[in-house]
Amino acid sequence: MTTIGTPPKDYLLAVEALTVSFDGFKAVNDLSFYVDENEIRVIIGPNGAGKTTVLDLICGKTKATAGSIRFRGAELTKMSESQIVLSGVGRKFQTPSIYDDLTIFENLEISYPKGRSVWGALTFKRDQAVRDRVEEVSEIIFLKDKLHERAAFLSHGQKQWLEIGMLLIQDPELLMLDEPVAGMSVSERIKTAELLNTIIKNRSVLVIEHDMKFVEDIAHKVTVLHQGKILSEGSMQKVKTDPKVVEVYLGH
């Protein structure tokens, strides 16, 4: 039934009845959740709950058996991985895929979206636009004073930030991160929380994380997965005191 007067809310990402079956085993089972504009959503849950599979489904790496993933009105389940990237979804995997032999500047530069072939004055204009964007992003990821150093010399945490920067260069409206602070020092973890809070001014972020202190620092809302389904959802305060969550996840 349609309600007159209040149009349905427009979410940035609407996942509905999403299911994927691997040889009959439902890793994600009739899952629905909604992400707002400018939201940091964290997905938590025990090993094997289906967290990584959800990100794989959103970025098109894995194809859904049933259900829908709408992003800005576009149906992602019908699109290829590269179309999904072009539509504004960026995904960072756990292991950094940066080029150690290149400088920070070059790593960011090669990630700048390629336009049509340009020449003459247009090339000059593009070069300036790339340099400006590289500078802007390098400041957000705390590497502005290291732009001309080789990426090989960065710490583990700085490499993670560089990879986030390589995604930010493309200006995605949804950025998905799989355990971004794994292996980071405490101070790097605090700076990563600061980084995420800066970048959500223009986008939303979907994070998988096990580090509960970090989750408390960043999450606007937490979705707890268990056996491919939602066990609990809401503020960190709400989910951490939910007896079901304590039993299957936080109590261990």
Residues that bind ligand ATP (CB under 6 A): 22, 27, 45, 47-53
Give one DSSP letter per residue of 44-82, joined into a string.
E-STTSSHHHHHHHHTTSS--SEEEEEETTEEGGGS-HH
Choose between 53 and 111: whose C-beta lies nearer to ligand ATP: 53
Choose between 27 and 35: whose C-beta lies nearer to ligand ATP: 27
Choose between 46 and 88: whose C-beta lies nearer to ligand ATP: 46
Taking the complex as a whole, how short is the minimal distance between the CB of residue 56 and ligand ATP, in angstroms? 7
Q: Which two tokens stand for residue 22?
A: 């691997």
Choose between 63 and 125: whose C-beta lies nearer to ligand ATP: 63
Taking the complex as a whole, how short is the minimal distance between the CB of residue 95 and ligand ATP, in angstroms? 13
Of 158, 144, 154, which is closest to residue 191 (Cα–Cα)? Answer: 158
Taking the complex as a whole, how short is the minimal distance between the CB of residue 177 and ligand ATP, in angstroms? 13
Helix (H) or strand (E) segment spanning residue 27 = strand 25-35
Q: What are phi and psi of 92, to 5 degrees?
A: -110, 130
Choose between 61 and 70: whose C-beta lies nearer to ligand ATP: 61
Taking the complex as a whole, how short is the minimal distance between the CB of residue 214 and ligand ATP, in angstroms? 15
Taking the complex as a whole, how short is the minimal distance between the CB of residue 208 and ligand ATP, in angstroms? 7
Taking the complex as a whole, how short is the minimal distance between the CB of residue 27 and ligand ATP, in angstroms? 3
Of 190, 183, 146, which is closest to residue 165 (Cα–Cα)? Answer: 146
The CA R_g of the chain, rounded to the nearest whole Å, is 19
Quote the CA–CA distance of 151 and 248 in Å, as a whole number: 40
Asked if residues 232 and 239 have their Cβ atoms less than 8 Å apart, the reply is yes
On the CB side of 98, how many CA atoms lie within 13 Å of its CA?
Answer: 30
Choose between 27 and 195: whose C-beta lies nearer to ligand ATP: 27
